Each structure stands twice: as C-alpha cells, then as structure tokens.
Chain A
Amino acid sequence: MRESPEDQFLKDLNSNIGIVHRVCKVYVKDAGEREDLYQEIIYQLWKSYPGFNGNSKFSTWMYKVAMNTAINHIRKSSKAVQQEPLPEHLPEKPCISEAVQLEEKTRLLYDVINRLSPIDKAIILLYLDDNSYDQIASVTGFTKTNVSVRLVRIKKQLEKELKPVFKNNL
C-alpha cells in the first residue's frame, strides 16, 4: 500500500530529525528560545513539504528550510547574543567520568560554534555533518571555492579555541 504524504513526511523528517536539533543548538543558546525555534522549524518544514519536489536530497532541502528559519528567528529575536568568556581549556580532572568529560567537550564545542557569525555557523554545521562542498554551496549560496576559503578561516578560529581540548584526539 502506498504511504500517505503525511506518513512519508514523518518518515523523512524522523530519519533526519537530528538536523533540526543541531541547527537549534548551534543558533540558539537559551533552552526556552531553542524550543520555540524547534517548533517553528518543524512548522515551516511541514508547511513547505508540499513544495519539496525531490530534485535535491531531503536532507539538503531540510537544511535550507531549517537554516533560513533559524537566521530569520535570530534576526527577529530581541535578545542580544551573550558572549561568555570561554575557559582557557577543559579542566583535566581524573575523577571526572568519561561521560561527563564527553558532555563537557560537546558543550564547549557548541559554545565555540555559537560564537561564530550566523553564516559561519551554517558552513561549519554542514561541514561537521559530513556534507560535501557541493551540498554546502547549494545550501548557503557560496561558490564551492569560497566554501573551502571560508572553512579555512573558520578552522583557524576553531583551532585557536579548541586545540587544547581536541589536539590529543578523542
């Protein structure tokens, strides 16, 4: 039996729902505001789905809708972005369990990404989610060459802040 468009949408959405969560985490720090953005993105995806013609991958289409909604949301948001100073490096406490260290590392990574410009956030998120340069260019509107130029700049910025944490691998 053929699936209804609603079932198909839910199936596609659920297999890529992580994109929505990551976009929310990268663009909004406040938990309450993040929930608002999450709901807004889901709503925009639901509303735009009839226009999805399958010419691109569902995930690429989803990144476009989610990121446009997020950028629009932070533009309208009255709350100014609070820039908190980052710790020099992650405290190395042997008593801290591996899970806590992992959580702390993830939080620190999101904190650093949170401090980038909205466009740089989009590029680094797409890169970390293992999208090709072609896909990053398609979502952002940069040329493929400029994606790599921009990534070099972001890389320098991230390395400066995260090298002490990530230099010895995971």
Chain B
Amino acid sequence: MDTLDNIKQFWLLNNQQDTDNNNLNKESMKRIIEPQIKKEQRYIKEYFWAFAFWQILVYAVLTHFIVRYWGDWQFIFCCVTGVLMFIPYSITFHKSLSCWHRPANAPDAPLRNIHGDLKAQIKQVSIYFQFKKRFDLVGIPVICGVLAVIMMKVTPVPHTFLGGLITFGIVFFAFARTTHVQNKNNFELPLARLRLLLSDIEDLNEE
C-alpha cells in the first residue's frame, strides 16, 4: 500500500469528530448569520455614503461656483466641463461598482466550480478596471485642469502662465500618484493573484 493510501485511510479514520461534535441549531445559526448580515450591510452603507459624499461634494462645489461667478464665461465653462465630466462617471461608476460588489454566492447567482468562479471574478474586476483606466486617462488631466482654474480663481495663486502650470502640476501629481497606488492595491495585485490561481488550473488543462 503506498503512502497516499495510508494517508487517506488515516484521514478518513481521524476526521469524523468534526461531523459529530459541531452540529448547528437554529440558535447557533442565528448567532452566525446576524453579524454577517450586519457586516455586509455596514460595508454597503460605507461604500454608498463614501460614493454619495464625493459625488455630492463635487456637484455642490461646481454648482456653487457656476452661480457665484455667473458672467465669467471662461470660468463657467470650466465648471460646466467638470459637471459634464462627472455625470457619465457617476452613472458608470455606480453601475460598475454595484455589479462588482454583488455577492458571488447570491441566491440567483449561478454556482460555479473553482475554475469558473476564478474566471468570473477576473472578468468582473477586469471590466471595471478597464473602464477606470480609460476614465483616468482622459478624466484626470481634465479634472486637474478644472481644479487648477478653480484654485487660481479662489486662492491667492498668481494669475500667470507659470502659476497655472505649477498649480496644474501639483494637482496632477497628487491625482496621478493616488490613482497609481489605488490601482495597484485594489486592482493590479488582486488581479495578479487571481490570474496566478487561474493559470494553476489552465496550464495543466492546456498541457
């Protein structure tokens, strides 16, 4: 008899106590389920309010500037551009994130094997990440431009080309750096880990 058979015999003989001693009843189920539901709801609320707060802040500030500086058409143009940039972003961002945070094992979700589940997770994260990268490419320079104009208008930054360029540079660097770190931690690393797991299955299937 080889070692793996011995291990299997040993395993089957010595792993039954888990089945016998840890039965769940309605009360213990309630104690497990309720905190999990609360945790999930808290997570959704946090996500919703963080998202809503940022959106409300952007629209409120830009609308305030439009009303306050009505007549200064160059400045109004910047604020309107900012608002117009954010409308499709708000819609797509909300749709993508709602889909992204949908529980993998929701009752109506199809139950997949490990291979299928990994593929679905990669697809879901990739679609959102692709959208975010495209938006960042166009959105960050435009938003930084809008912010630079607003900062020059409402703060004592010298109204010169160099002043504008430096303000734009600082805002752009801050945005680009934050986006880079955010993309790396929230998308690139998780995607790399998922792809590594997937390749573990697919490499053998292709051999």
Report the bound CA distance from A128 to B33 in whole Å: 30
State whether A22 touches B18 (Cβ < 8 A): yes
Interface residues of B in 1-45 (CB under 8 A from A): 1-4, 6-16, 18-19, 22-26, 29, 32-33, 35-37
Q: Does B67 contact A (CB under 8 A)?
A: no
**B200 contacts which chain A residues (CB < 8 A)?**
117-120
Within 8 A of A (CB), among B82-112: 103-109, 111-112
- B74 interface residue per 8 A CB criterion: no
Contact status of A109 and B107, CB under 8 A, knowing A43-B36, A139-B114, A142-B204 = no
> B194 within 8 Å of A by Cβ?
yes
B interface residue count range (under 10 / 10 to 19 / 20 to 34 / 35 or more):
35 or more
Q: Are B117 and A68 in contact (CB under 8 A)?
A: yes
Tell me whether A34 is interfacial, beta carbon within 8 Å: no
Given A22-B15, A22-B18, A47-B105, A149:B204 Cβ within 8 A: yes
Known: A17-B19, A166-B7. A71 touches B112 (CB 8 A): no
Which residues on B sit within 8 Å (CB–CB) of A67?
114
- Given A48-B111, A128-B12, A141-B201, residue A166 in contact with residue B116 (CB < 8 A): no
> When the two chains form their complex, are residues A170 and B26 in contact, meaning their CB atoms are under 8 A apart?
no
A residues in contact with B1, CB < 8 Å? 169
Min Cβ gap A41→B in Å is 10
Q: Does B157 contact A (CB under 8 A)?
A: no
Least CB distance, A10 to chain B, in whole angstroms: 6
Inter-chain CA distance A150–B14, complex, in Å, is 25
CB <8 Å contact, A64 and B112: yes
B111 — which chain A residues lie within 8 A by C-beta? 48, 51-52, 61, 64-65
Residue B181 lies at the interface, judged by CB distance under 8 Å to chain A: no
| CB-CB nearest in chain A for B193 | A75
> How many Å lie between the Cα of A27 and that of B182 in the bound state?
28
A141-B116, A141-B201 known; A48 vs B105 contact (CB < 8 Å):
yes
With A10-B25, A51-B111 as contacts: A163 and B3 at CB distance below 8 Å:
yes
B-contact bits for A51-91, CB 8 A (1 contact / 0 none): 11000000001001101110110011000000000000000
Indicate if A122 sits at the interface (CB-CB under 8 A): yes
Task: Find A162's partner among B7, B25, B109, B118 (CB 8 Å cutoff).
Answer: B7
Return chain B residues, CB-CB under 8 Å to A111.
none
Main secondary structure of the interface of B (DSSP, over half): helix
Contact A142 B194 (CB under 8 A): no
Contacts of B7 in A (CB 8 A): 109, 128, 158, 162, 166
Provide 25 A-B residue pairs closer than 8 Å at the C-beta atoms, listed in order of the A residue.
A10-B24, A18-B15, A39-B35, A40-B36, A48-B105, A51-B108, A64-B113, A71-B197, A75-B190, A75-B193, A75-B194, A106-B15, A117-B200, A120-B200, A139-B113, A140-B201, A142-B205, A146-B204, A146-B205, A155-B4, A162-B3, A166-B3, A166-B7, A169-B9, A170-B9
Please list the residues of chain A having a beta carbon within 8 angstroms of any beta carbon in chain B.
Answer: 6, 10, 13-18, 21-22, 39-40, 42-44, 46-52, 61, 64-65, 67-69, 71-72, 75-76, 102, 105-106, 109, 117-120, 122, 127-130, 138-143, 146, 149-151, 155, 158-159, 162-163, 166-167, 169-170
Question: Hey, which bits of chain B sit against chain A, CB under 8 A?
Answer: 1-4, 6-16, 18-19, 22-26, 29, 32-33, 35-37, 103-109, 111-118, 121, 190, 193-194, 197, 200-201, 204-205, 207
